[in-house]
Structure formats: structure tokens, C-alpha cells
Structure 1
Amino acid sequence: MVRPHLSLNFALSADGRITSIAGISSGWTSEADQERFHRLRVEADALLVGRGTLEADRMTLTAPQNPLRCVISRTGKFDPSHPLFHTPGGPIHLLGTEHAPRKIKDTVGHHSTLAQFLERLHQDFGVERLHCEGGASLVRELAEIDAIDEIHLTWAGHTLFGGRDAPGLTGPPGDFLASSRHYQLTHFESLTESGECFLSYRRA
């Protein structure tokens, strides 16, 4: 698969969850983490997110360099009133993997597999660096096709989410991947005052 270099950025609770039982996935980490979040965006040609995360966090996927804004949905259903579609920024690409997305003004629709979409971003739109910000279902799919090159994590030791079904990085507890994915730790930074650690990994 010829595709962009793909990175992830997530915050994890002390027990390895990316959301609370109630589904809260943002706004619970430090100001330093939020600054890191925005720095990582600036390095990308395109930003990638699943529809559920887009809606839960009311994301607009903006950055100074106006990266492509890519949203994925199995059903292809998107809410035209969402702030994403009314906020200036980079071109918006919508992928429906099971059903073609309905046309929304000033967007580009795609109907294909996730792997095919990644290839098209690279080959047809010149995307060299793609940055994913959630959610767990999308990360699971990316891991299944072994398309993750870099992982950035904020381990937040100050928060314990709990919850049997609260998702980790690759979703709720369930089936294992067909094989392990191996990464090398490339950055470790401990912020004692905030109770957080910044970690970065690169594909081994």
C-alpha cells in the first residue's frame, strides 16, 4: 500500500482508557497537552478523524497551514449543520466505507475502503503526512491494515476512568489483532506538576 506517513495523537487515563464511561474524550488534560495537540496538527498535510469523535468533540479540524480535513463514517451519514462544514479551513473530504456519503456543499465525497482512501490521499492529493485524532474504532481499523507509523500519547496519571466498556486505544475490550504491532519509544517527558507524561513511538 502506497500511503501517507500516518501518526496518531491520544490522551490515556491512568488505566489506559481514552474516554470516560460517559464518553468524554477531550478537555480533561493539562494546558501543556493542549499545546502539544496543536503543535502536532501543524506538521500534517491532512487531519483524519472518525465521525463519532468529530460529533462528540464538535471538532472543526483547523490548523494554520489549512490541512485537508478528512472524516470517515461507515454509513456515510454526516450532519450538514455540524460546525466543521461552516468553519473556514482546508478542503473537506468525507469517506463512506459501506455507503457513499450524501453530497454536502464544498466537500469531496469518497466511497471506498479505508486502505484505498489512504492511497488516494497520497497519490491524488499529495498528502505526505496524515495525522489521526480518533476515535478508537478508526484506530482499530488502521492497526488492522498496519498503517500506523507514529504514535503520540499523553499518559494522564491524574485520572482513572474505569468502566468495563470504556475504550482503550484500539477500542473496547474484544478480539485481539491478528498479529502484534511493534514500536520503539522515541520520546519520554515527565511533567510532575500536571501528573502527565508525554510519550512518542515510531514503528520499529
Structure 2
Amino acid sequence: MNFAISADGKISSTGKRPSGWTSPADHTRLLALRSTADAILVGKGTLVADRMTMTVPGKTVQPLRCIVTRGGSLDPDLPVFQKPGGAIHLCVTGDRAGEIPGATAHHTTLPAFLGTLATDLGVKHLHCEGGGELVRALAELDAIDEFHLTLAGHTLFGGLSAPTVTGIPSEFLPRSLDFEINHFEPRDGECFLSYRRKPSEG
């Protein structure tokens, strides 16, 4: 996982402000993390709001670009479908989405899609960039090994309906997940942090 959060724990404003509100150093870190991945995973809402290309500049072999959607149409004019990069795979968990030229649609559940990435497509390192609902689903599956976080102390979003890393505040996760910090780097109003999942006891 890789996220930026405001000083009050939000990943965006109530109006769903797109990315770009953190420093150039944070963006550089994002690209560095992407460059180590076999595939990048995002939810449809994040893809549309941030108009992502899901690519790594200068990388010869680009990571797969994986989009999770409940269904409905995806605009084929979105940047991700227009810019050359890794193969595009859609995980459609609900109603059938409209076909996108050049994209492979998988009509399945999120756990099954993760299995397909690992067993059929050779993905060993999957890098997720949101949104909160997708992260919550992955957390409920205990499918998060590392969490990279930029704490942006320079920004306060506020608002009960502003999303957090696990979506709009609601019920707690079914159980706690234990992580340990393995990187701490404060820099000009931001702090870059990395956490690693602790093995379950027993």
C-alpha cells in the first residue's frame, strides 16, 4: 500500500480532492515504490479522480495495471487507456462493465483476482494506491504485507465524510492487524513512514 494522509488522518477532502496536494518529494517516492512492483492496483474511483496512467517513467518493463470496479462503464478516454504501459486487467466484481479495447476483464471476486495475478500472471509484488474502500477490502482479507505512508502535517481536510485509508469512517475492521515500523523519514512538513506486517502469533 502507498498513501498520503493529512494531519487529521484523511486521504482526501469531503469533495474528493484528487492527488497532487503533497510535495514533489512524495511524488518521487511514489514512482520509486511503483518501480519495484510487478503490478499496480487501484479502485475505479481513485483511477477516475486522479486520472492516473499507472506507469513508471523510464522503466523498460512496465508493471501490469489492475483496476477494481463493481461494474458499470469506464471511459475509454481516461489517461490509463490512452498511454502505453503495462497490460491492463479489470477486476469486475459486480455488473458487467463495458468492454475497453486492449483491456482484459475478469468477472470475479477480489480474492479470486488476487489469486489470478499470483498464479497465472506471475505477480509477486502488488502495489496498491487506493482508494480507501479497496484497502478496507484487502485488510479484511489480511492481504497487506507492507504499508507506505506519507503523513502530510501541512494539511487538514476535516469532515466526517472525508475518506480515510480504509474509506469513509464507519465500523471498525473485524480484527486488528499488527504492523511494525521499519522506516521513518521526516522532511519539510511531511514524514515518510513504512510499516511491515508482523507475523500472526500461533
Question: Which ranges of structure 2 fall in alignment gaps of 5 or more residues?
Answer: none
1:141-191, CA deviations, whole angstroms, 9 ceiling, x for partnerless residues? 101111011000000001011011101110111011111111010100111
Amino acid at match of 1:186: N
Whole-Å separation in 1 of the counterparts to 2:144 and 2:96: 25
Q: Secondary structure at the match of 2:3?
A: strand
- One-letter code of the match for 1:188? F
| Separation in structure 1 between the aligned mates of residue 145 and residue 49 of structure 2, nearest angstrom | 26
Specify which of 123, 126, 147 is matched with residue 122 of structure 2.
126
Letter in 2 for 1:45: D
Aligned match of 1:101: 97
Are the aligned partners of 1:101 and 1:110 in contact in 2 as well (CA < 8 Å)?
Answer: no
Q: CA deviation at 1:79?
A: 1.3
- 1:181-196 equivalence runs, <5 A: 181-191=177-187, 194-196=188-190
SS of alignment partner, residue 148 of structure 2: strand
What RMSD over aligned residues (CA atoms) do the two structures have, in Å? 0.9
Q: Tell me the equivalent position of 2:153.
A: 157
Q: Which residue of 1 aligns with 2:142?
A: 146
Q: Return 5+ residue gaps in structure 1 as ranges.
A: 1-7
The residue number in structure 2 matching 1:198 is 192
Residue 68 of structure 1 corresponds to which residue in structure 2? 64
Write the distance in 1 (CA, Å) between the matches of 2:78 and 2:18: 18
Aligned AA (2:117):
L
- SS of the residue aligned with 1:137? helix
Once the two structures are TM-superposed, the CA of residue 76 in structure 1 deviates from its matched residue by 4.6
Deviation at 1:100, TM superposition (A): 3.0
Percent identity over the alignment is 56
Q: What does 1:50-61 align with in structure 2 at a 5 Å threshold?
A: 50-61=43-54
Choose which of 158, 166, 175 in structure 1 pairs with 2:171.
Answer: 175
Aligned mates of 2:18, 2:51 — CA distance in 1: 11
Q: Distance in 1 between matches of 2:72 and 2:114?
A: 17
Tell me, in whole angstroms, the C-alpha distance in 2 between the residues paired with 1:42 and 1:182: 26
Q: Which residue of 2 aligns with 1:15?
A: 8
Q: TM-score, normalised by structure 2?
A: 0.94
For residues 141 and 76 of structure 1, the distance between their equivalents in structure 2, rounded to whole angstroms, comes to: 20
Structure 2 partner of 1:91: 87
| Cα separation, 2, equivalents of 1:166 and 1:21 | 4
* TM-score relative to the length of structure 1: 0.93
Query: Contact 1:47/1:68 (CA < 8 Å) preserved in 2?
Result: yes
Read off the aligned partner of 2:144 and give its amino acid letter: I
Letter in 2 for 1:133: E
Aligned residue among 105, 114, 117 for 2:113: 117
Q: Distance in 1 between matches of 2:67 and 2:172?
A: 25
